[in-house]
């Protein structure tokens, strides 16, 4: 894989991740926003990556958990890059884990009378998904198949279309008749949310988030020290992994904070932040603290050039390329996003 192919692949992977975050934000609006009230009803709860305990098996963490009332809920799994039988097979395996009673709802007993299960697939491949799930047997709660598309017209929308089944929460059947379009400008700002409960596939993503969002906000309060290398004059800022993680969790996670709510995931995780900071070390923009493995000294300069996502990808490729950079499989090379349409 050439350097440019690697940069393009990182850009695509990170773009897919960010669009998945956007999809979760838009899905919350589609499922929970009440047009008559002009807001989110108090009784309607939404969580992403929330830990749920099935009657059988280990805990599960669906992409979206919605509680409409004290009796009815919805579990949704987003598969926005699903395009093959292998993808749909894996989606079916996850859905089967949700197709039973689950504990973890926002009720006193953490239980509901009933919950539906929905799968959301790219609009481009919804036909294949319909054929696959039409042949699935013994699924009792899997009642909804939705498609998703990011539509670019004069404005940008996220469109969700109901392709199979009906909502038991009746107002949604009118809202999704057969689709609903969420205007991005009303629910999303470019600098709003950056993380869902899945780990970004490339450390360059968190490197970019730290450099572009965390460090500009925190640098004034961080301890600094003179550079250790004679060839640079940039002071180094002391970055603690946990402090950085807590800031990103509070401001940029669609999962919210975990304080007092053990079922909500801690996103991003410390390992994601530590991995990004270690990559800063490898490309020469930071040094490890000699005494504390959770502390890094970052040579942050707001006027520095070559600090965008694609810039960091080039620097990683040149200094510490991952193993997949040598793999020229289709998954690693540039391809169109399956849920975008004009």
Which band of pLDDT confidence, cut at 50, 70 and 90, is reported for residue 242? Answer: very high
Residues 261, 183 share a domain: no
Residues 181, 299 share a domain: no
Residues 138, 62 share a domain: yes
Helices (H), ranges, the chain: 3-32, 85-98, 126-134, 171-175, 184-187, 203-209, 215-218, 241-252, 270-282, 309-319
Residues 164, 109 share a domain: yes
What is the percentage of the chain residues whose pLDDT exceeds 70? 92
Number of domains in the chain: 2
Taking only the tens place, the pLDDT of each residue in 67-95 is 999 999 999 999 988 999 999 999 999 99
Residues 236, 136 share a domain: no
Pick left, alpha or beta for residue 38 (phi over 0 → left; psi -120 to 50 → alpha; otherwise beta). left
Residues 40, 145 share a domain: yes
Residues 222, 173 share a domain: no
Average pLDDT over residues 42-66: 95
Answer with the one of 143, 162, 187 that is the final residue of a domain: 187
Angle at 255 between CA 242 and CA 313, to 5 degrees: 65
pLDDT at 249: 94
Average pLDDT over residues 213-225: 95
Instruction: Report the chain's C-alpha Rg in angstroms.
Output: 22
Global pTM reads: 0.89
Which band of pLDDT confidence, cut at 50, 70 and 90, is reported for residue 189? Answer: low
Residue 54 lies in a domain: yes
Taking only the tens place, the pLDDT of each residue in 160-171 is 999 999 999 999
Residues 103, 47 share a domain: yes
Q: Is the pLDDT of residue 11 over 90?
A: yes
pLDDT at 227: 78
Answer with the one of 124, 155, 187 that is the final residue of a domain: 187
Residues 171, 26 share a domain: yes
Residue 322 lies in a domain: no
Tokens representing residue 151 in the block = 């539509």
Domain region containing 250 = 203-307
Residues 218, 177 share a domain: no
d(CA 30, CA 145) in angstroms, rounded, equals: 15
Residue 89 lies in a domain: yes
Residue 324 lies in a domain: no
Can you give the CATH number for the domain in which 231 is found?
1.10.10
For the chain, give the mean pLDDT: 91
Pick left, alpha or beta for residue 237 (phi over 0 → left; psi -120 to 50 → alpha; otherwise beta). beta
Q: Are 67 and 61 in contact (CB under 8 A)?
A: no
Can you give the CATH number for the domain in which 141 is found?
3.40.91
Residues 266, 128 share a domain: no
Residues 183, 36 share a domain: yes
């Amino acid at each position: 894989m050439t350097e440019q192919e690697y940069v393009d692949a990182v850009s695509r992977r990170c773009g897919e991740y960010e669009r998945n975050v956007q999809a979760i934000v838009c899905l919350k609006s589609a499922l929970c926003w009440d047009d008559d009230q002009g807001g989110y009803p108090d009784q309607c709860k939404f969580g992403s990556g929330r830990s749920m305990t099935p009657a059988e098996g280990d805990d599960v963490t669906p992409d979206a958990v919605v509680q409409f009332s004290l009796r009815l809920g919805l579990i949704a799994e987003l598969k926005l890059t699903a395009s093959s039988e292998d993808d749909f097979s894996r989606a079916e395996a996850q859905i089967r884990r949700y197709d039973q009673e689950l504990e973890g709802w926002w009720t006193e007993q953490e239980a509901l009378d009933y919950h539906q299960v929905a799968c959301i697939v790219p609009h481009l491949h919804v036909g294949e998904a319909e054929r696959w799930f039409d042949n699935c047997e013994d699924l009792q709660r899997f009642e909804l198949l939705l498609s998703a598309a990011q539509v670019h017209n004069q404005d940008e929308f996220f469109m969700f279309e109901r392709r199979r089944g009906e909502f038991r929460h009746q107002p949604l059947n009118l809202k999704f008749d057969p689709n609903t379009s969420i205007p991005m400008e009303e629910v999303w700002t470019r600098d709003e949310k950056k993380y869902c409960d899945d780990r970004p596939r490339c450390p360059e993503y968190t490197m970019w988030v730290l450099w572009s969002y965390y460090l500009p906000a925190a640098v004034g309060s961080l301890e600094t020290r003179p550079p250790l290398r004679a060839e640079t004059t940039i002071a180094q800022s002391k970055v603690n992994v946990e402090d950085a993680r807590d800031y990103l969790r509070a401001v940029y996670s669609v999962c919210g904070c975990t304080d007092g709510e053990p079922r909500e995931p801690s996103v991003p995780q410390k390992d994601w932040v530590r991995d990004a900071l270690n990559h800063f070390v490898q490309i020469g923009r930071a040094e490890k603290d000699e005494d504390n493995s959770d502390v890094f000294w970052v040579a942050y300069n707001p006027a520095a050039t070559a600090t965008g996502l694609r810039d960091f990808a080039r620097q990683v490729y040149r200094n510490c390329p991952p193993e997949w950079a040598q793999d020229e499989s289709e998954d690693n090379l540039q391809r169109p996003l399956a849920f975008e349409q004009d």
